[in-house]
Amino acid sequence: MIITREHRTRPYPLGVHVDGDGLVAAVYSETADAVDVCVFDESGRETAHRLQERSGHVFHGRIEGHGVGTRYGLRVQGAWDPANGLRHNPHKLLLDPYATAIEGELKGDEATFSHRFNAPDELNPTDSAPFMPRCVVTDRSFDWGDDKHPFVPLDETIVYETHVKGFTQLHPDVPEEIRGTYAGLAHPASIAYLVELGVTAVELIPVQQFAQDSHLVDQGLRNYWGYNTYGFFAPNADYSASGDGGQQVVEFKQMVKALHAAGLEVILDVVYNHTAEGNHLGPTISFKGIDNAAYYRLVEEDRSSYFDTTGTGNSLNVGHPAALGLIMDSLRYWVTEMHVDGFRFDLATTLTRQDGSADMHSAFLDLIHQDPVLAPTKMIAEPWDTQGYQVGGFPADWSEWNGKFRDDLRDFWGGADSRIGGVAQRILGSPDVYEASRRSPLCSVNFVTAHDGFTLADLTSYSLKHNAANGEDNEDGESDNRSTNSGAEGPTDDEAVLTRRDRMRRNFLATLLLSAGVPMILGGDEIARSQGGNNNAYCQDNEISWYDWSTADHELRRFTADLVALRKAEPALRPDWYRAAAAEGKSDEEEGSNATVWLLRSDGQTFSDSDWDDPRARSIMFVFAHRDGDTFALLLNAAANGVEFTVAPPLHAEWELVVSSDPGQRVSAPVSTLIVRDCSFTLLRSKRS
């Protein structure tokens, strides 16, 4: 076929796009012999269109007479040679890696596997199309009006990690027909709640199109968390109230626009470290059949196997331009087309392993750093994978989930032997982690709980996990998740235990919201959301995971909202740089910082070197001051008995009580000593004005 100049197409952008009265398509593959775009009509009949042009490793061409709403997939001709990393199989309908909408659900039939179950090296000739979802060509236009990124500064950011479905599935003020959807999260009742709580950003656990694991479906369970992506440009259609034929894209944009109008940022939890295709025994959904070795890291000495640092069977090949290009194009798409404000990267360390070892000067990090679209957005790393723990190892313009904050605060409040020095470091923004590389506390995303593990209510109620509903004999999830419950197992009518739990929940929320860094609240912790002791509810798309608004602890919610408001109003409680040097007697002017801190023992004296390492030390006092605000004294007592604090002299007016986890706490001026009861905190203020 001769293609005239006026009908030639370009090899970029990749994917399938509307062009006049037809479509243009471009697919990357170094190893394919030919690529067909297969269009499906309303009856499901398939018509293949061979891409006739090739530029470098990109097959491209034009398909006349089709436009928005076209359902399609790919078939790729090429060698089947698993021993050499080649897994082409034209009998498999493949999803376009750049599809912006996906209709239908992947079905777990043997037909979707390129190999036979009983012979992994033998090609499976069964057509997979009846069991595969379809890509949908979408309309890129949308009326964004005056929408703009809120660009909330990091020192003012308070992240709320939540689930699109779980947040509204049982919400009584959200219309039933849109509960559990993007539209539900955009509903005025949802937004009003978030605004009243005071958070500045919602971090949505995965909303890119993900697969349902067949072994879960067979047990009547579902992948609820969504860490099993196969569509990096497509919003998950299950969360759409309006349909999955492209409507999910519009509904997602409407959600972002509504959240932005309320001043709320949208951060996506993204899973670029692996895909839903698994290892050599996994299904062929897209990448394996297009160019297996370009998209996945293969074991050099056995190219039929996958190099895996994610625990899922495969790792994306971030040392290859095709895989890196996919990630970068996807990120830019979500910023430019969908208007999101930032990303939290699941197992981010894997993305730096272009040669096997973690590399903080990797191509992935360098590309993001220099990209003008991505540079202004919030970048948050989960700084570990199955092969390494890299907290403190990411570049200065990244923030990180600080697992040390979680662990040290749980140990402190839970009564485990721990160094008081570790707690002090966490509350000061982890200078022991970040200061040596001249990174600020804002690199630390502080959290006590997250989607993975106990909720705060369960952390303070259960000593043991209760994961039987997951179908793995309670052997999944963390065996020792640093539970801080030392009372009865599970809910109880014992008033003393309830009171202690109530204090412990407030202790955690307070230390989270009064620490330097960027606080992240697990959605529902502020209302004491319980999962019945399940600390690995990844497969519980039901009442175990959904927010039960009918049992919400509104007193705890008000407590949280008050602390959030206090943090936002007082610069001394959200410093953007370290203040630890002030503890050595240097002034804030000498250190070039607006903020100053003093760390004191309960007797009002400074800590000696031996004090910091004393595992029996269970109390500490912080005094926070700022040139432009009030001074605060934070008194923490994790001991099993009350402790008398000798309170530091006030810098301004006499100390007054702001908040305490002990409802019986009283303060009468002038204050020189104050008893803080067991497992409690108290916050005092000395007003500048």
Catalytically active residues are: 346, 382
| DSSP codes of every residue in 154-165 | GGG--EEEE-HH
Could you write out the three-class secondary structure of 280-321? CCCCCCCHHHHHHHHHECEECCEEEEECCCCCCCCCECCCCH
Q: How many whole angstroms separate alpha carbon 485 and alpha carbon 533?
A: 11
Nearest alpha carbon to residue 198 among 247, 155, 160: 160
DSSP run (H or E) holding 384: strand 384-385
The alpha carbon of 37 is separated from its chain's Cα centroid by a whole number of angstroms, namely 34
- How crowded is residue 246: how many other Cβ atoms within 10 Å of its Cβ? 24
Q: How many whole angstroms separate alpha carbon 199 and alpha carbon 178?
A: 23
- How crowded is residue 652: how many other Cβ atoms within 10 Å of its Cβ? 13
Nearest alpha carbon to residue 419 among 640, 679, 611: 611
Question: What Rg, from alpha-carbon coordinates, does the chain have?
Answer: 27
Strands (E), 143-264: 159-162, 201-204, 208-210, 229-235
Q: CA-CA-CA-CA torsion for 124, 129, 133, 135, nearest 10 degrees?
A: 110
Q: CA-CA-CA-CA torsion for 565, 169, 213, 35, nearest 10 degrees?
A: -90
Nearest alpha carbon to residue 459 among 392, 495, 407: 407
Nearest alpha carbon to residue 174 among 189, 154, 159, 153: 189
What is residue 82's DSSP assignment? Answer: G
SS3 589: helix
Query: Structure tokens of 618?
Result: 């269970």
Residue with tokens 């089947």: 80
